[in-house]
Structure 1
Amino acid sequence: MVALIAAACAFSLGFFVRGESQLLHSLGFVGAGITGDDKPAAQTQNANNSLGSRIAEVEKILDEDSVETYELDSATSALLEALATTADDPYMRYYTPLQYDELTRDVADTGSYSGVGVLFAEYNGRAYAVDVFDGSPAQQANVQEGDVVVAIDGNRDHDWTIAEVTTALKRSSGQDVVITWRHPASLDDTTGPEYTTTLACEDLSIPNIDIELIDGVGYIKLRQITQTSSKLMESAFRKLDAQGAIAYVIDVRDNPGGFLTQAVNIADLLLRSGTIVRIETQGADDTTKSATTNTTVTDKPVVVLVNGNTAASAEVLTAALQDNQRATVVGQNTLGKGSVQVTRELSFGGALRYTAAFYKSPLDYAFDKVGIMPDITVKLSETEDNQLAIALETAQNLASSES
């Protein structure tokens, strides 16, 4: 009878202490797998399969039991920087409130040519020299195309993005800037010799578009895709048409891209119908941009000239014309920068930059990290611009076959 009464009391006590973790701990039930909300251990683990819930758990423990404190802003920066470092996204970056304020101070002019004579592009979150202009301070210091920015004024605590480099180089004419570069064997190479240059910033005026009539072919060099590129391209087509152009070569070699809307508008100048680009986002059907019928400026043959530094929205333009059979692509495989980065301001200050979408060609070809293969592959000669020569010849042949 005594044993029966003891068992009944133990059973009743069990109901009383269920969920009382502190009481269970004091009674020696450590690691018994009993939780406050009576969830099995597997369910509790699943509930913590998010970064936010795990951080919240740690924060709760510290708030309730730790005798020490932490500085919230410093902890936030450290956590988000660690997240960006461990993420699969090479373009992810957390900007502190101060960094974000500096980055957005002159937002209307970002993406322009720097005051040292270099056109920058970005690959895997690192800015590099895609073009070095003749007679510029950078050329005089022997900066080479493909050289990666390692540090500016000694600051090398992070990879420098194109936006950060552009912001850092907005200085008064004559002011010096110290840039440390790395000379890699390729853009995927993370090694290579480093060297440091001290360059004087200068007021440089480099046209974004050059045009010329060469043996009856309208040649248009587009250096990057800026906010006004589609208007400039329309004007270029009309000027060359008035000069009697029988076909066109659009040279986007070393073009790092720029505004997607402008690339779409340029393609629209040459297409009467068809899809221009597909945009793949998380958990949604592809968004498509299609040509309109009221903006076409010419039906004459077009050749697009590309190389390994043709990137981003310049690749979108190339793929749009190639997939719609509106242009013949000549040159070398493009860079394969088919991802879209956005920078979103955070409610507690600062901002997060991350990859939000991928570009795909009209025929549903994802070219990120792959690039666009030309119709006619031509490796650049060391002694002459044979790529341009073949592009002009191809344009002339296309015009002849249509006449």
Structure 2
Amino acid sequence: MTVAPPSASLTERIDAVLTGFVDARVAAWPEPELSPMLDALRHFVLNGGKRLRPAFCYWAWRGVTDGADGDEHVVAAGAALELFHAFALIHDDIIDESTRRRGRPSLHEEFAGLHAGQRWVGDGRAFGRNGALLAGDLCALWSEQVLTECGAPPPRLGEAQRIFAMMRAEAVAGEYLDIVAQATGDFDEAAAIRVIQLKTARYSVVRPLQIGAALAGADRSQIQAYAAFGEPLGEAFQLRDDVLGVFGEPERTGKSVLDDLRQAKPTVLLALALARSTAADRAQLRSLIGRPDLDDAGAGRVRQLMVGSGALAATEERIHDGHRRALDALAAMDIRDEAREALGALADLAVARSG
């Protein structure tokens, strides 16, 4: 497995592992019919993304150990987390029918375009969905392989694998709760928080932290201490994402501000807007969200209603509160100072980002 030298940045080292792994898979499958999918996956995995999950994993590891025995295995574990993240994004875009991701057509749109460009027979949209579904599955399988082959000592690897398996199951359960809420039209704040905890907070922050700690040989109390830091931060991270999904700048986020509203995503932001609006404004909100033909003017009206109801301000306050609670937990942790400083900077980045 290719690993860049320790002198390189963490992002460069993660990218080196991903490049080496994906290129080896591409070389092992010479069939020309597979080339479009593998090329698309290679670009998706290696371009875009902030590598936050590997960074949380790495610095949690550094919080427990001085790294004297080398850090190649935790860098590889970070690459495994990125592959799982790719799986989650690809499948999420299929479920949400999102058209853009990281400033490009989402993968199912790209495969639908391949079908049209080649003038193949059958339903091009179905081909796009099916191709992206399989590509996402491949990323999930690869993520497990990269972690298994990371080279960590067996007892530590076993604990990391246990947490990794739990993370994957939580993400799927959270996604299912998300689509149930969409189907029922139940925009409940508590239910939205539960989706955040399972679908995003755990796999974006908590479990990467705990995987890193496990690879360093942390005991149970240390692993739980990372959860005390990661849970409120993970919630704040997703709340920021929800705000950006409606109020963000597409050229910075790489996504349309229409997708979440057209899909009536059951976010905390939307739940608060509905709960705090007048009856007339609530009726207007419900008439706009979930419409597949919602345009920019309609989205603008939704934003006005969210601001006017106080929902945006309340969500920002929840983000601030989660960030504060995370930093308080971090300050109380018995970890190395350099790791505390790095994790604090990552916490700031997670909640203050604009894309």
Larger radius of gyration: 1
TM-score normalised over the length of structure 2? 0.27
**Which has the larger helix fraction?**
2
TM-score normalised over the length of structure 1? 0.25
Which structure is richer in relative contact order (CA contacts within 8 A, separation 6 or more)?
2
